[in-house]
Amino acid sequence: MHITLTNQAGVTINLSRVQWARILALAMAYGWEPAGTSNPDGWKGDEPWSGSYSSHQGGSVSRQDAQMMAAALEKSLPGIPDQDPPAHNEGKQDIFESMLAFGRALEVDNPSPSKLGIDSSYKAQILELIEFFRQGAFEMGN
């Protein structure tokens, strides 16, 4: 399963759901307060739109929200190593484990990307996402 982010310039980024969950958790740990998403074009649900960032049905993220995400991710960069120590090997976490790590990370005053499973392998992706989010509003989809 993956999520596709597409901005108004047509730039597309594909992430696994675990990667997306970690990116959202990292942004929140560094001060981003989610504004919620707008319902996707053509959405006809029986319930009001939830504003979720993880919906299988997509959603729209506003320009301001995207820019706040970029600012929070930028704050996280000093905590993400360019290279992990040789002994680093946490293995892969599933989405549930990522969310547990997210909860633990928010319980401390000093967030740590490594507690969210963010290591050097994420740095280039986070830099790409910062640039993407700075470009403004985007759509999420599968």
73-86 pLDDT, tens per residue?
A: 999 999 888 876 55
Mean per-residue pLDDT of the chain: 82
- Read off the tokens for 29: 């740990």
Strands laid side by side in the 2-7 sheet: 12-16, 2-7, 138-141, 59-61
Tell whether the model's pLDDT for residue 8 goes beyond 60.
Answer: yes
Q: Specify the pLDDT at position 40.
A: 75
Q: Could you tell me the pLDDT band of residue 58, with boundaries at 50, 70 and 90?
A: confident
Q: Could you tell me the pLDDT band of residue 45, with boundaries at 50, 70 and 90?
A: confident
Say which residue the tokens 């994420």 belong to: 122
Q: Specify the pLDDT at position 76.
A: 92
Mean pLDDT, rounded, for 84-94: 52
Q: Specify the pLDDT at position 88.
A: 45
- The domain segmentation of the chain, as residue ranges, is 2-141
Q: Specify the pLDDT at position 84.
A: 64
pTM, two decimal places: 0.79
